[in-house]
A and B are shown apart, each in its own frame.
Chain A
């Protein structure tokens, strides 16, 4: 059984116009030790109704692109060097804060990683969710908002919602809190839902529940979702397409099946190879050798080359930064590697193709 076989729903038919378009986004941070190039030339689209997964290690810039887009990165020390984040007709990066605020929490909502610290400890859950509702629905009265809050909590599966709505975050368990955060995010029927490591801070058993809640939330809102995580299992369960990031750049973007079955970037290959397998008898786990690069002075050329098996020391890897190029026929699979075609030829990820023992 492959990891991907658990997905039963086929990928949705895509409407041509993306609901969100990130184009060459480049963000830097000024620090005491130098300038951190958090993300460079990040480009991807988000189509309505789909779930776009963004994968990468800590520090790869996964969260920075979306946080910048929502104006949640303090500038200074952050700085948008160039790029666009087109939402509909407008560029979010150039939008005045007042208008951006109307979108935040309304049309574009975000769920954060650690629900314990992401919820204000001195206000009740109900208060905080109602606040989200009333901010974007100024006409709505307190009672109506309160009612809606209870409905939302029930939707995400919080039992005894009527009672629990008046409790404080510390009275909720970790999974409950994350459900409350999800409720808060979908409160205003967002068009885009962004989940930043939604399950990382939770127990494994709770993670499965939260995945179900997220699916329910998507069903309810039909929102396009950006799922940021380093958990490939989550990607396999939820994502339609996947963006792979390394050292602040997009290195691969493809359908989720293609990412798992025929990755075309050595980093992605390395990720897939390093997975622990239920269906194979491995003697060793196979991590990617080396360390993540410094974001202040990244290696010249391709940032991955010091750890890349496939570069084999070829000079171009050390001198030229590879561009994102389409691979294969569909045009929907792009990779940033000088030798991406070679990967198609080699059978490097043969293990992921079904092979009876």
Chain B
């Protein structure tokens, strides 16, 4: 077991390095951090050359890559090209906000999704089942940003017509949120809509998945044996069926992380939240590769970590897989 984990970790590190090289090379082709500076009439050639010297921007690519790797470990991703602002503090702050958003959304999606999925499977073809299926299909067909916008429209109009602010439609906090519980409530009111938006797609996906998994399990031979043993329905469902149906969901959760992050990028953009997504978009538009690289590597690490956790959880839940 331990050897498996170590083997996976080592391999993941390899993958991360390969990914970083690929991305770095791609970025160097795609971006020119000084591009827009060079277009400004007021900026002298000397200023630009100074920046280039300071950041070693004229060095060959492998040197720049080497510098970047060094910066990652020694200087926490280094600094931005033009402004010289350290990258990590900004990124860390943004990350914190995004984590709040993603964790809350996933929790909501998983808990509700599993509940609905199980219920739909046990009461197949009932009204709830049909409603849930319809909802899932629609939820998966809806672009995240559109849902975000529609909710914004709805709640802004509620405010305009009824003069009641239920949920906020932009930014993380109001101007003066106060401290302690007031702060938390204020944050909650602001994050509510983004969380709902992000949770919808996950909810749709997980409920369908759980339903299918439960149906398959509920008709299996071992559930029949459990019934033949005289166990009551609840035990049969919860202990025997549910446990087995849950296993593939775990893998799904981990794999989904990349998609969730993409959704978060879009949602943050619409709701103007100070998170990783917005950070990424802003720096991308500015054309500075270093913060963008930092973002990509951080997310890559997270994806790898989640995949590893999923594999381990899978092994823990399903004894058949454990003999690695």
Partners in one complex: yes
- A110 to B228, Cβ gap below 8 A? yes
**Judging by beta carbons under 8 Å apart, are B231 and A135 in contact?**
yes
A257 CB–B CB distance under 8 Å: no
* Most interface-central of B222, B227, B229, B319 (chain A CB within 10 A): B229
Which parts of A117-138 form the interface with B (CB within 8 Å)? 117-123, 131-132, 135-136
A117-B222 in contact given A122-B317, A170-B320 (Cβ < 8 Å): yes
Max chain A Cβ within 10 angstroms of own Cβ: one of B220, B243, B319? B319
CB contact under 8 A between A118 and B221, given known A102-B230, A131-B231: yes
8 Å CB interface, B208-261 against A: 220-222, 224-232, 240, 243-244, 247
Is B318 positioned at the interface, with any CB of A under 8 Å from its CB?
A: yes
Residues of the A chain whose Cβ atoms lie less than 8 Å from the Cβ of B244: 120-122
Whether A70 touches B318, Cβ cut-off 8 Å, given contacts A118-B222, A120-B222, A121-B222, is no
- Given A121-B318, A122-B244, A170-B320, decide whether A112 and B230 contact each other with a Cβ distance below 8 A: no
Q: Which residues of A contact B222 (CB under 8 A)?
A: 117-121
Give Cα distance in the complex from A219 to B240, angstroms.
32
Query: A98: which B residues are within 8 A, CB to CB?
Result: 232
Is A164 positioned at the interface, with any CB of B under 8 Å from its CB? no
- Across the interface, A112 reaches (CB within 8 A) one of B228, B231, B243, B318, namely B228
Contact: B320 with A104, CB < 8 Å?
A: no
Interface residues contributed by chain A, number (CB under 8 Å)? 28
CB B98 to nearest CB in A, in angstroms, measures: 35
- List chain A residues, Cβ under 8 A from B225: 112, 118-120, 181
Question: Which of A122, A132, A168 makes the CB contact (< 8 A) with B229?
Answer: A132
Q: Tell me, in angstroms, the Cα distance from A118 to B227 when the chains sit together.
A: 11
- Give the residues from 61 to 116 in chain A that come closer than 8 angstroms, CB to CB, to chain B: 70, 72, 98, 101-106, 109-110, 112, 114
Report the Cα distance A286→B193, complex, angstroms.
75
Instruction: Tell me whether B229 and A131 are in contact (CB under 8 A).
Output: yes
Closest to A168 in B: B319
Instruction: State the CA gap A87–B70 with chains docked (Å).
Output: 80
Tell yes or no: A38 within 8 A of B by CB.
no
Whether the Cβ atoms of B230 and A117 lie closer than 8 Å is: no
Instruction: Decide: B230 and A122 in contact? CB cutoff 8 A.
Output: no
CA distance A141 to B156 in the complex (A): 61
A170 and B222 alpha carbons, distance in the complex (Å): 13
Bound complex: CA of A114 vs CA of B220, how far in Å?
A: 11
A105 in contact with B229 (CB, 8 Å)? yes
In the complex, A119 Cα to B240 Cα: how many Å?
10
A271 to B305 Cα, complex, angstroms: 62
For B320, the chain A residues whose CB sits under 8 A away are 121, 168, 170
* A136 partner residues in chain B, CB cutoff 8 A: 230
CA distance A343 to B317 in the complex (A): 60
Give 30 CB contacts A-B under 8 Å. Answer: A70-B228, A72-B224, A72-B228, A101-B230, A101-B232, A104-B228, A105-B228, A105-B229, A105-B230, A105-B231, A109-B228, A112-B228, A114-B221, A117-B220, A119-B225, A120-B222, A120-B240, A121-B244, A121-B319, A121-B320, A122-B244, A122-B247, A123-B240, A132-B229, A135-B229, A135-B230, A135-B231, A136-B230, A170-B320, A181-B225
Beyond A72-B228, A118-B221, A170-B320, 10 extra complex contacts between A and B, CB < 8 Å: A101-B231, A118-B222, A119-B222, A119-B225, A121-B320, A122-B243, A122-B244, A131-B231, A132-B229, A136-B230
Q: List residues of A whose CB falls within 8 A of some B CB.
A: 70, 72, 98, 101-106, 109-110, 112, 114, 117-123, 131-132, 135-136, 168, 170, 181, 184
